[in-house]
Amino acid sequence: MQLLSGNEAIAQGAWEAGARIGVGYPGTPSTETMESFGAKENVYAEWCANEKVAVEVAVGASAAGARVLATMKHVGVNVAADPLYTAAYTGVNGGLVVLAADDPGMHSSQNEQDTRFHAQGAHIPVVEPSDSAEAREYTMQAFEASERFDIPFFVRSTVRVSHAKSPVEVGERVERDLIPYEKDPSKWVMMPAYAKPRRTSLDARIAQVAQWAETSPLNRLELNDTSIGVICAGASYQYVRDALPNASILKLGITWPIATGLIAKLANHVDALYVVEEGSDYLSMQVKATSVTVSEPPAHALPKEGELTPGIIRSAFGLALPEELPTQQDVPGRPPALCAGCPHRLVFKELSRAKCIVTGDIGCYTLGALPPLAGMDSTLDMGASISMAHGFELALAGTEHHPVVAVIGDSTFGHSGFTSLLSTAYNKGAGTICILDNRTTGMTGHQGNPFNGITLQNRPSRELDLEGMVRSLGISDVQVVNPNNMKDVRAAIKGATSRTEELSVIIFRSPCVLLKKVFERQAPYTITSDCRACGVCVTLGCPAIARIEETGEACIDPDQCVGCGQCQAYCGFGAIVRMEGALR
């Protein structure tokens, strides 16, 4: 018995099921799954440039006869949708399982989409565990079913299942030989002549999965009180058990296709039937489509957004809430901010100072949008910064406007920013692109990427030439700048944005301050009596700097200060100095 998170349990299930290859792109809340899988024996695992590439690698490995696990967060499924929708047509050879980790409540995401809608659209079955033990078991079952029904399977997790730990009875790995690959264009070449019969085959295969769902132990009918019946899945099941202990429940472990016979059986057993789910109406729509009447909770409707709790469910059903200890009210607020010493800080400070229109991207640097930096105008999806900047330039052509600047991280540039820059360069676009190269994928916990040459399993690899790639597109105005030097940052932005007819790229390169063995903390800075309480240093938004309420003067927390010296460059009175004799 081991205490595992849902992510770790999915990796364990894949390993026990004999999966020999794992591919993915890091994205919270899915990231630890591939890291855990890659640490196991007798497997190969890699981070791919993006989720689409990961699924394409996975389909190739499956066709060659290996069991393969692909992992991504929910928005990554959008990127992978192109191969996924056709992979259902081709089917599999070795079992192919795709983990899609959804994020109701948007703890670290730009939306809270429900992967099950993709599953229905792509005709890919979904299994949905509600704890770590089920995460392991369902993953193993998904591999078996993938090969049995000749189709990829989704394992859908949500943030609570992904990160919460619960006991798991682990087993031994079953080594599996490659299933021999046989040349068969009618299965693997999806041109219309072959795709049309595979669509007919797909419908037949899904019908078989639907029949299996009616008897599979992954779906469980718990018949209790006849007054209330609840249909639920995943983490919502745990909340329902807590909030409505006497209710009859249909716990769906397979949420597409759904078991219509079990739904009808529960509906006939109870007086009123409810669907409880988080941040989506997917399951409710599926149940209503079977002509079963779904009731609204008697007190009020469940929220359509965010995560549920047992208390929210009890309140919706008009039940009393348990007593709670009072919450401490005097806890200081801690707004999200870039880390002390973050090499992105001065870039956003100077972009804001230059009154640029800044199209941003996905990553920890999105925090540059928040006050006091307020240095970003938009964030849409991975790679959108460069494409949106091109759109701004097209729309504002011939008008007087503030400089348009795109900001993107190194990993995100490799994910999908490069194709955006390729398109902008091809179409003779203008503007300034800032690539924030902090030598890692910072937002998900320091995974490798093509530009730092660090692979998932630390294999020898190539470190791609970022400047060379940019220049290969015909862009000659390329600079590499130290983002910790205020004067250099200011000069680079001023110069690039003044060349309005050109496409300029500035690569701001300095390691993330949280990179162990790469970034070295220096002796901290302190404030002297020369401080005039002007407040300029505070506008950097560094968590190590604060103002003394009584005097307005600045102060620096030496425990947080990493000694980067960014604040010193902005002090017009020489009041910020390095602490004499301080050591790290």
CB 249 within 8 A of CB 227: no
Q: Kind of pairing, strands 126-127 and 96-102?
A: unpaired
213 three-class SS: helix
Q: How far apart are CA 190 and CA 193, in angstroms?
A: 8
Give yes or no for a contact between 150 and 91, defined as CB atoms under 8 angstroms apart.
yes
Quick one: which of 51, 6, 13, 47 has its CA closest to 29? Answer: 6
Q: Does 364 appear as a known binding residue?
A: no
- Known binding residue 48? Answer is no
Identify whether the C-beta of residue 387 lies closer than 8 Å to the C-beta of residue 424: yes
Burial pattern 433-443, b for ≥16 Cβ within 10 A else e, equals: bbbbbbbbbbb
- For tokens 């299930």, the residue is 13
Sequence letter at residue 522: Q
- How many CA atoms, within 13 angstroms, populate the side-chain half-sphere of residue 46? 16
Task: Give the tokens for residue 290.
Answer: 């079977």
342 is in an annotated binding site: no
Helix (H) or strand (E) segment spanning residue 527: strand 525-527
Q: Is 561 annotated as a binding residue?
A: yes
Residues near 447 by beta carbon (within 8 Å), at least 6 away in sequence: 26, 31, 35, 47, 411, 440, 441, 456
542 is in an annotated binding site: yes
Q: Is 434 annotated as a binding residue?
A: no
d(CA 185, CA 180): 15
Residues forming a β-bridge with 44: 21
Q: Is 537 annotated as a binding residue?
A: yes
Residues making up the annotated binding site for [4Fe-4S] cluster are 531, 534, 537, 542, 561, 564, 567, 571
Residues making up the annotated binding site are 531, 534, 537, 542, 561, 564, 567, 571
